[in-house]
Amino acid sequence: MPADVPVGSIAWLRASVARFSNGADHVRRRALAVDLLASVDADSLQFQAFSRTSRIMAELDVVDVMAEIARPVPVGVLAEVLGLPDVSADVAGVAAAYHPHVTPDAAAEAALTRLLAVCGGPAELAAARIGLLVQACDATAGLIGNGLLASLTGEPAEQPVLATRRRVGGADVTVSLAGTPFGAGPRACPGSRHALALAAGALAALRGFRLTETEISWLPSPNLRMPAALRVTRGETAGGFC
Ligand code: HEM
């Protein structure tokens, strides 16, 4: 348990997850994350992402895929298979404050307090579960947003995570991920199969929709490359052919 931070705070989360740990702490905490993920079947993630996405798309005429699908669906599905309620809104709040260069606001701290309450209180295993959800949040949203855009425009899909931050000797450093979307080596993403399954399920349910606008606005972020919003509607049925 990290000694120099308030227990249960965002600073505590950073000090308790594999992502910002080194040495033996990293090995132990990464093993917790890997074990949790090993209990999750990728095929069922794909199926659940497909059915949740289909349900949401059936209810709305015009859908901002980033807000309604890409962010909440992967986290909601992952939370469910990890035995948690749908905590996707709180995960998004914590994800925005997760990285060490961000000063967490009261809303992010409150979101983490609620997440810890459903995860059984501040312990390393709870941090590992929350860490999985937070790591899944932005990156998988990018996989879905960029994948959908590529399938609709015919352009190659953009890489959603361009760089990663690490904590080395107390300092925060940025490492480029050029050419390796899931990283490499002992810190490579342990959730890549799960992320691809979630994205495949969501994207399969988004077939047949078309963009409502031609201008795409991108998220203003140095490390993430994904649309800020992506509005779609059900495609016109081609008349006169077939
Ligand atoms: C189900 C979704 C996902 C889960 C559960 C997940 C989980 C994790 C975890 C726990 C780590 C920390 C590993 C460690 O420090 O040893 C990690 C790292 C990483 N993840 Fe994922 N991830 C997901 C989706 C993605 C996606 C979609 C991408 C990219 C497109 C991605 C890219 C990365 C990268 C590049 C790292 C390494 C960071 C570094 O080297 O510092 N992840 N992920």
**What are the structure tokens assigned to 122, written together?**
């501040």
Q: pLDDT tens-digit profile of 38-61?
A: 999 999 999 999 999 999 999 999
Residue 180 lies in a domain: yes
The Cα–Cα gap between 62 and 41 comes to 32
Parallel, antiparallel, or unpaired for β 209-211 and 62-64?
unpaired
Write down the mean pLDDT value for the chain: 93
Ligand 1 site, residue 160, Cβ cutoff 6 A:
yes
Residue 239 lies in a domain: no
Domain interval for residue 138: 10-233
Ligand 1 site, residue 194, Cβ cutoff 6 A:
yes
Q: Which of 163, 167, 143, 147 is nearest to 155 (CA)?
A: 147
Strand partners, 209: 234
Q: How far is CA 199 from CA 100, 146, 163, 204, in A?
A: 27, 10, 20, 8
Q: pLDDT tens-digit profile of 93-132?
A: 999 999 988 999 999 999 999 999 999 999 999 999 999 9
The residue contributing the CA closest to ligand 1 atom 15 is 19
Residue listed under structure tokens 């993430």: 224
Residue 3 lies in a domain: no
Ligand 1 site, residue 100, Cβ cutoff 6 A:
no
Ligand 1 site, residue 36, Cβ cutoff 6 A:
no
Q: How far apart are the CA of 75 and the centre of ligand 1, in A?
A: 13
Strand partners, 1: none
Residue 2 lies in a domain: no
Residue 93 lies in a domain: yes
- The amino acid occupying position 235 is G
The residue contributing the CA closest to ligand 1 atom 3 is 136
Number of domains in the chain: 1
| Cβ contact 82:58 at 8 Å | no
Q: CATH number of the domain that 171 lies in?
A: 1.10.630.10
pLDDT reading at 166 higher than 90 = no
